[in-house]
Amino acid sequence: MELRYRFDTGPEFRETIQLSDARDVHRNDDGFLAAAHLLLLIAGVSYYKSQAPSTVVVHVPTTSRQRRLVEAVFDHGLREFAYANDLPIPLVNEFVWQSEPVGGAPPATSDPGSIGRPLVPFGAGKDSTIVLDVLPEATPVTVNPTSTHDSVAASLGHELLHVRREVDQLGELTRPDRFNGHVPITAIVSAIAVMVAARDGYDAVVMANEAAASEPTLWIETGGRPATTALAVNHQWSKGAEFETLYAAAVAETVAGVRYFSLLRAVAETDIIRLLSRRTDVLPRLISCNRAFVGRTAGGESEAPQRWCGSCPKCLFTFLLLATELEPSALSEIFGHDLLDDVDRIAGFAELWATEKPFECVGERADAAGALIRLAADPRWHDHRVVRSLRDSAAAALHDASSAGSSAPASVPPLPEAYRRRILDALAMV
């Protein structure tokens, strides 16, 4: 299928989405078209950012919920991009819609009381590995997978569904005179997954987005004196509670028979690590490192397995949290290096609880600082050079976080009862 976008002056773009062959005969053609409509509305950010005009024209009919979703994706989902390129926030001053909002009649749905046919977007990292482990009846799906995605899914007893997404005219989009930067990729992956679910008869798209994803990466000041307002910039916004609420409402309004939610939304990072540490058979295979996949060819028998880079914030955060559960020798074998005994990593670890966190998918500042403090009291780790160097800094950061408190995240629909029981049962076992 194709998604089409264009600027008033400039080329037309035709993005290609190639789905794998359907595995089930329970097709939902109306739901598929409705889900494809949502994908069209969201995926345009990949092209919009190259010029970032102040006006966006939408040539397809939309409901009120869809408009709220689109406005949020182009604002909150692109705030990191705007911040990095020194552009105004919000980027879009005006949305020109085709007509008045069309009516949306939410289909009647009920909680079936059992886990049916869940579809899990799978990144081969720690969070989606936990969801797939907790839901053995689920089917994983990956957009532009590598052999590592297939390998980790297979180690959990699953065959991976493949989707190919080809962004059109990358050379044109990345010209030196164009803007470049982060887009809310999880929003796009979510929309693709719901489309697959509708086509193939899955009744739920179950994400692996945890509570920590809602914490802003940093706050910025905007506006002139005296009316200055602090704005949240969150690298993980499309993994956060606000996006989930908006997108789930848009799905419920038009895509009959498919639910969208995150199994880990209310689960703390420390509990995710506890669940992960029991899967010592899978730990050597999974990769929570974006740099490991940069420049890789999707699929292909000759592709070398991805490995942890050992330097990026995701590697450092995952190593730090896993250290609270595992022995130094076990972690060194997995990562190829003892990151907590490497003085060159001290600054990188300290950034995990800095006022301005790294623009990466890492947990809350308090998660990282609290983990290092626990290691400082752990005889297995307390003499490691990074731990010795940063224990005071981590203690101060944890104190500041406790004093500041935490803002309540946007409310999200409750988990279906069968899924709620499943994750509670899993947590009770560790």
Residue 415 and residue 423 in contact, taking contact as beta carbons nearer than 8 Å: yes
Residue 79 and residue 41 in contact, taking contact as beta carbons nearer than 8 Å: no
Q: What angle do CA 233, 235, 239 make, to 5 degrees?
A: 115
- Tell me the whole-structure pTM to 2 decimals: 0.93
Residue 352 and residue 390 in contact, taking contact as beta carbons nearer than 8 Å: no
How does pLDDT run along the chain (430 residues), one tens digit per residue? 999 999 998 789 999 999 987 655 556 688 899 999 999 999 999 999 999 999 999 999 999 999 999 999 999 999 999 999 999 999 999 999 988 889 876 655 667 788 999 999 999 999 999 999 999 999 999 999 999 999 999 999 999 999 999 999 988 888 888 899 999 999 999 999 999 999 999 999 999 999 999 999 999 987 654 445 789 999 999 999 999 999 999 999 989 889 999 999 999 999 999 999 988 888 888 988 877 766 544 444 445 567 888 999 999 999 999 999 999 999 999 999 999 999 999 999 999 999 899 999 999 999 999 999 999 999 999 999 999 999 999 999 998 877 765 555 557 778 999 999 999 999 998 7
Residue 209 and residue 186 in contact, taking contact as beta carbons nearer than 8 Å: yes
Please state whether beta strands 218-222 and 229-233 pair in parallel, antiparallel, or not at all (unpaired).
antiparallel
- For CA atoms 223, 224, 225, 226, give the dihedral sign: negative
The whole-angstrom separation of Cα 245 and Cα 407 is 17
Residue 289 and residue 314 in contact, taking contact as beta carbons nearer than 8 Å: yes
Token pair for 354? 């800095």
